[in-house]
Amino acid sequence: MTPDWLETAVFYQIYPQSFADSNGDGIGDLPGLIGRLDDVAALGCNALWLNPIFDSPFLDAGYDVRDHCRVAPRYGNNEDLRRLCDAAHARGMRVCLDLVAGHTSADHPGFLQSARPEPNTWSDRFVWSDNPWLTRDGDLTYISGSSDRMGAYAVNFFVHQPALNFGFQERRRPWQQPADAPGPMANRAWLKQVLGFWFEHGVDGFRVDLAATLVKQDPQQTAVRALWRELRAWLDATWPGKVLISEWGDPGRAVSGGFHVDFMLHFGTPGYPELFFNGHGFARIKSGVEHCYFDRTGKGDFRHFLLSFRLQQEAITGQGFVGLPSANHDFQRPRVGDRDEDDLAVIFAFLLTWPAVPFVYYGDEIGMRYLEGIASTEGAYQRAGSRSPMQWDASPAAGFSTADPADFYLPLDPSPERPNLAAAKADPDSLWHWVQALVAARRTLQPLAAGSAWTLIGEGAGYPLCYLRGDGVERVLVALNPAARSGAIELPEGLLPESAVVTKGARFEGRRITFDGPGAGVWRVRCSKTPS
């Protein structure tokens, strides 16, 4: 069963280090976030996703967890998290955390025990070879020389992130254990303990990091999907209403494998990069096409995304949802290169009306820029450009902290024209107000619910793009034009406009919608027959 609240959920992703600092140390924290909840609520978002906030040595910005059941002191403590959940719930918002399920920090007490030469209860909880000289085996990298155990440990990402042992589907070495061996089964039980611990604190769900990679040498992902289906059955029976969101990048497999939501992202199933990333030019993530669809040249092709999305929808109908983010902590924001707020307005019109669960990355709603070339912090590398401090106001510190900006976790956007929330709220024509109106429509108009029907008007290849949401007499019509040229679309008979919901640079006259350049519009319509 899928919780009803996901139908109208609009998530707001928060990178906690960079959101709001309450104690002047230059690093965001939970009390700072609590103090800014009203700003998130004012935008209309009704669910939060926080990147990892657990105890960590922070060699990978918290994705190297030392204690999954303790809030890192830099953010506060467990009681602060409970206060955050209470405060969010009082505002009608849910709180989801980030679960690093497949590995820990090399400083994790269990891994330190596992690395001991004598057998113990943790020996089989991590992936170890029986050969200390092994460095590579299949898709796995192995590290040795840090302990006296006669072997090498597998890592999932960086060398300080040892892989937890959930077993091997195809066992090619004598030391590779099946998924139902005692060590892997103990790790499954541990996952339930961690989830239950935070659910008791008021948490409403988790986004699971690298969800597809827990079971190793599992080419068809049959064993890992079975693992998550088992955990989902436990969740439904024990914690109904809680949600699991995966970083799988393949909704067809992930949702049928037990998750409520899975993202289309910059990896995995194709389609998302072709919406937003060109095959040349700026930033770290590129696509295989010369021009993405949301490009002012108007040379993109929406079908790259459409064909892939339809396949995902067919695979998950009635089981869960595709998630679509404006950006996240791992790839560039949409405000990159020469994109401006007019371009972002069109992008948000799509994200907040398409039949998927939308995720707004903090700051995208005011047009924060991806910052190229800033120094790496805690393993961020090129990703640092999407993790800069939230810009709350026009003060030198942008309202993020009372610390000297030179001491911030990451540098601020140095532009004197950097956008900020205070100015955006004061300007009725700002991107923030546009996004706020779209979020309100998303949450209040039933045809815009995540699982509501959709019908594409036309072939969906070029510009403008137009689609209907809903399947009754009263529906919602969406039209958008990312191209920096005029465009028009002739609507089929049977569509009668009732009222505009939000429009920017779009005109609806008779059966024709016209654009002079980039623009978008959302209208209530009456449908006297199903458009062909």
DSSP string, 122-167: TTTSB-B-S-TT--EETTEEEE-SSSSSSS-EEESSSTT-BBB---
How far is Cα 407 from Cα 400, in angstroms, rounded to an integer?
12
Is 454-527 in CATH node 2.60.40.1180?
yes
Q: Tens-digit pLDDT profile for the chain (532 aa)?
A: 899 999 999 999 999 999 999 999 999 999 999 999 999 999 999 999 999 999 999 999 999 999 999 999 999 999 999 999 999 999 999 999 999 999 999 999 999 999 999 999 999 999 999 999 999 999 999 999 999 999 999 999 999 999 999 999 999 999 999 999 999 999 999 999 999 999 999 999 999 999 999 999 999 999 999 999 999 999 999 999 999 999 999 999 999 999 999 999 999 999 999 999 987 544 567 788 999 999 999 999 999 999 999 999 999 989 999 999 999 999 999 999 899 999 999 999 999 999 999 999 999 999 999 999 999 999 999 999 999 999 999 999 999 999 999 999 999 999 999 999 999 999 999 999 999 999 999 999 999 999 999 999 988 778 999 999 999 999 999 999 999 999 999 999 989 889 999 999 999 988 899 999 999 999 999 998 766 5
Q: What are the domain boundaries of the chain?
A: 4-102+183-444, 103-163, 454-527
Domain 4-102+183-444 superfamily per CATH: Glycosidases (3.20.20.80)
How far is Cα 530 from Cα 276, in angstroms, rounded to an integer?
31
- Residues 320 and 1: beta-carbon distance below 8 Å: no
Alpha carbon 192 to its chain's center: 22
- Which residues touch 381 (CB under 8 Å, ≥6 apart)? none
- Residues 446 and 477: beta-carbon distance below 8 Å: no
Is 103-163 in CATH node 3.90.400.10?
yes
Tokens 């907040």 sit on residue: 352
Q: Do domains 4-102+183-444 and 454-527 have the same CATH topology?
A: no
